Structure 1
Amino acid sequence: MKKISLICVFVLTAVVAFTQERIKLQATNVLKKQVLADADWAMKQKPVTVTAESSPRSAGGKHDFFSEADYFWPNPANPDGPYINKDGQSNPANFVAHRKAMIRFSEIIGALASAYKITGDEKYVKQAVVHLKAWFVDSETLMNPNLLFAQAVKGVTTGRSWGIIDTIHFMEVAQGIIVMEKAKSFDKATLATIKKWFADYIFWLNNSKPGVTEKLAKNNHSACWVMQVASFAKLCNDKVMLDSLRWRYKNVSLPNQMATDGSFPLELARTKPYGYSIFNLDAFTMICQILSTPEDNLWKYETADGKSIYKGINYLYPFVADKSKWTLKPDVMYWNNWPVAQPFLIFGANNFQNQNWFNTWKSLDLKPTVEEVIRNVPVRHPLIWL
């Protein structure tokens, strides 16, 4: 009997590996033309970092990332006074140039790394290194490894812990480096300096007051803290940090944020329940994608009361496959722009061998152009993660 059981395990493992390879091949076929077109664009781009533009409202210096909180507006009763909150309603007049530069950077590195993974052509690595040096190495243009001045609110604060969520767009930069770091064109000194930058940022995220506050948040902000620290720790091969993040997912994030039906109650209570539910599920999915190992597979982990990433995807999938089934109120803004090709669909399909989830993913917008959507989809280059 034991021999038969071992044979069954071997066969099952082989079937899973074959199915995942099939999903990966399908994704490559779907995305190849777009990847090469995006990489062609990226090859023509010059670096733009936080030093390219500044705001007089920033309390930081030339090298400090600065942004203003999206949902804060002038008070009609006191136009020159402190801004007031309008949850879910983005103020287009707020300063977000640094965030846009960061997103552009992630698009460039994601495209170049994807093309390198497909073709093996080192020209993509050479171009990526130019941009990476500008952000993390060059003393004239680099960004300081902290977010002390992110999501400031006029008349209220020079920066908030909530702003740490802005660096989710460094995740594909970190993953792109992982894909390209063994290329001949990636010199070791530059790589070491870049990894030192990310190690310094990991330290700040874990030891600063804003970092700890974000880590202890109860909604998507803490999930995004885990997700991005996991991405950066993977680049730095910080095994102690990676182990601690697996523990946090299993003992804090999953049991405290997910309901037993697979929903996220704190996201459903927002003025954009649909978009925030998708966003948080994408974050949980990427946590599993980044942190899972053969010895500690978060895709298979289930709490004592039955909460799991599979249950989360299974809960939300019907509303993404057919939005008309959504039973709660529509989002206050950008309701018509969701869903797009969400990460939870393709990575869920890959790990649970679900062709329907994959088919839904490829039927949705694979290259969204709405700024608010892009801001909330940190993983837009799935090939570098598969």
Structure 2
Amino acid sequence: MKLRLSIILLSTVLLLNSFTTDQSVKQQATETLKPYILKEAAWAMLQQPITVTAETSPRSSGGKHDFYSEGDYWWPNPTDPNGPYIQKDGLTNPQNFVAHRLAMIRFSRIIGALASAYKITHDEKYVKQAVVHLKAWFIDPETLMNPNLQYAQAIKGVATGRGIGIIDTIQLMEVVQGIEAMENSSSLNKETLAGIKSWFSQYLTWLTTHPYGKDEMNAKNNHGTCWTMQTACFAKFTGNQELMKFCSDRYKEVLLPTQMATDGSFPLELKRTKPYGYSIFNLDAMTTICQILSTKDNDLWNYQTTDGKSIKKGVEFLYPYLKDKNSWPYPHDVMHWESWPTAQPSLIFGAAAYQNQQWLLTWKTLDHDPQDEEIIRNLPVRHPLIWLN
């Protein structure tokens, strides 16, 4: 009896040790996501490109190839219907122009799905279809998007564009990750790849030199986090080591020290009208920065400030509320409360980084196919297989 019990205990220990390795996280993630990926990839195989040139707004100050969006929380003034819009924080105006944002989200989903399916199956058909969309957005002069966000998050009567609009291109991160997952495919030729990298190099120049880019970089909440996250992603893709170091230093010296409290929470997000969703979003962005930039010699996952702030503490703070939303001790979000959480990237990235089985198991039980457009928009990572190297 004792021998049998010892064998059972030993087997359990070996299983847990195996289960919590990074390789096992990838295996578990693949098993969990495979049916979703193949279904979405089948949809993506049927889609034709839709870029910013497919639809325009008469309120845009830009041209046909310029990305345009309008501030979500801005509404007509009831006392002056034809005058400048007024703000209602957290309340989205459904009449604002978001066609370009939706097209970019669609593009991101297509590339993420096709790249994930290619990673699982190694079938070149997925890459060939992805290339059609990549050329339409970044290379074809008739349909490409200009490499800037000068007209994003405009406000009628107030601004033709704002730095705050730069957050819209977090959708391009999974495009970049998808390209990296397909980079060695014979169906993605060097000329096309070079053209895409040139586009992102130009966009990085705009992000780091234009006043809008500088404003967004210096934002004190999730907007500053997302500037660093996407800049790091695009810099890694284009081989810009200087910018990668800048983003790593900014995470360690600015984002973590100024945004996180010593308990792991994000006070600036907790003050918002959607404290739960914004806390999740900012944690996802910070963990994604760690996923992008961490190396053996510069491990952001295990970096902590002199007063003990770390990304691990951030995941530990939010985890109980991701596991059981009803335990959330702060006000509920004014919109979309019912749609959070989903299978958040902070959980699977954290599980891989810290070999945490509990976080991985919770991630597996959460929603892997959200339908709420607001949630989809605020998920910077929807296809984690292309991020797990």
**TM tier, smaller:** over 0.9
- Contact kept, 8 Å, 2:116 with 2:385, in 1: the verdict is yes
Give the structure 2 partner of residue 157 of structure 1: 159
TM-superposed deviation, 1:199: 0.5
- Contact kept, 8 Å, 2:115 with 2:386, in 1: the verdict is yes
Give the structure 2 partner of residue 126 of structure 1: 128
Equivalent positions of 1:306-325 (< 5 A) are 306-325=308-327
5+ residue gaps in structure 2? 1-16
Give the structure 1 partner of residue 372 of structure 2: 370
Give the structure 2 partner of residue 4 of structure 1: none
CA distance in 1, matches of 2:378, 2:192: 30
TM-superposed deviation, 1:80: 1.1
Give the structure 1 partner of residue 230 of structure 2: 228
Q: For 1:127-149, what per-residue CA distance to the aligned partner results, in whole angstroms no more than 9, with x for missing partners? A: 10000000000000000000000
TM-superposed deviation, 1:260: 0.5
Give the structure 2 partner of residue 68 of structure 1: 70
CA distance in 2, matches of 1:364, 1:52: 35
Give the structure 1 partner of residue 58 of structure 2: 56
Aligned partner of 2:111 among 94, 101, 109: 109
Give the structure 1 partner of residue 145 of structure 2: 143
Aligned partner of residue 296 in structure 1, secondary structure: coil
Equivalent positions of 1:316-355 (< 5 A) are 316-355=318-357
CA distance in 2, matches of 1:329, 1:110: 34
CA distance in 2, matches of 1:360, 1:78: 49
CA distance in 2, matches of 1:172, 1:66: 20
Give the structure 2 partner of residue 5 of structure 1: none
Give the structure 1 partner of residue 7 of structure 2: none
CA distance in 2, matches of 1:151, 1:143: 16
Give the structure 2 partner of residue 79 of structure 1: 81
TM-superposed deviation, 1:17: 10
CA distance in 1, matches of 2:286, 2:352: 15
Which amino acid in the other structure matches residue 126 of structure 2? Answer: Y
TM-superposed deviation, 1:16: 8.9
Aligned partner of residue 140 in structure 1, secondary structure: coil
Aligned partner of 2:29 among 27, 30, 44: 27
CA distance in 2, matches of 1:291, 1:107: 23
Which amino acid in the other structure matches residue 86 of structure 1? Answer: K
Give the structure 2 partner of residue 36 of structure 1: 38
User: TM-score, normalising length from structure 1?
Assistant: 0.95
Aligned partner of residue 230 in structure 2, secondary structure: helix
Q: For 1:196-255, what per-residue CA distance to the aligned partner results, in whole angstroms no more than 9, with x for missing partners? A: 000000110000000000001100000000000111111111111111111110001110
Equivalent positions of 1:172-211 (< 5 A) are 172-211=174-213
Q: For 1:312-347, what per-residue CA distance to the aligned partner results, in whole angstroms no more than 9, with x for missing partners? A: 000011111111111111111111111111110111
CA distance in 2, matches of 1:17, 1:178: 27
Aligned partner of 1:268 among 270, 274, 293: 270
Give the structure 2 partner of residue 214 of structure 1: 216
Which amino acid in the other structure matches residue 36 of structure 1? Answer: L
TM-superposed deviation, 1:268: 0.4
Give the structure 1 partner of residue 13 of structure 2: none
CA distance in 2, matches of 1:308, 1:211: 26
Aligned partner of residue 65 in structure 2, secondary structure: coil
Give the structure 2 partner of residue 282 of structure 1: 284
User: TM-score, normalising length from structure 2?
Assistant: 0.94
TM-superposed deviation, 1:18: 6.8
Give the structure 2 partner of residue 94 of structure 1: 96
Give the structure 1 partner of residue 11 of structure 2: none
- Contact kept, 8 Å, 1:74 with 1:80, in 2: the verdict is yes
Aligned partner of residue 299 in structure 1, secondary structure: helix
- Contact kept, 8 Å, 1:16 with 1:353, in 2: the verdict is no
CA distance in 2, matches of 1:182, 1:257: 38
CA distance in 2, matches of 1:246, 1:87: 31
- Contact kept, 8 Å, 2:19 with 2:357, in 1: the verdict is no
Instruction: Please provide the CA RMSD for this pair.
Output: 1.0
Runs of 4+ aligned structure 1 residues displaced above 3 Å come to 15-18
CA distance in 1, matches of 2:32, 2:387: 15
5+ residue gaps in structure 1? 1-14
- Contact kept, 8 Å, 2:115 with 2:127, in 1: the verdict is yes
Aligned partner of residue 146 in structure 1, secondary structure: coil
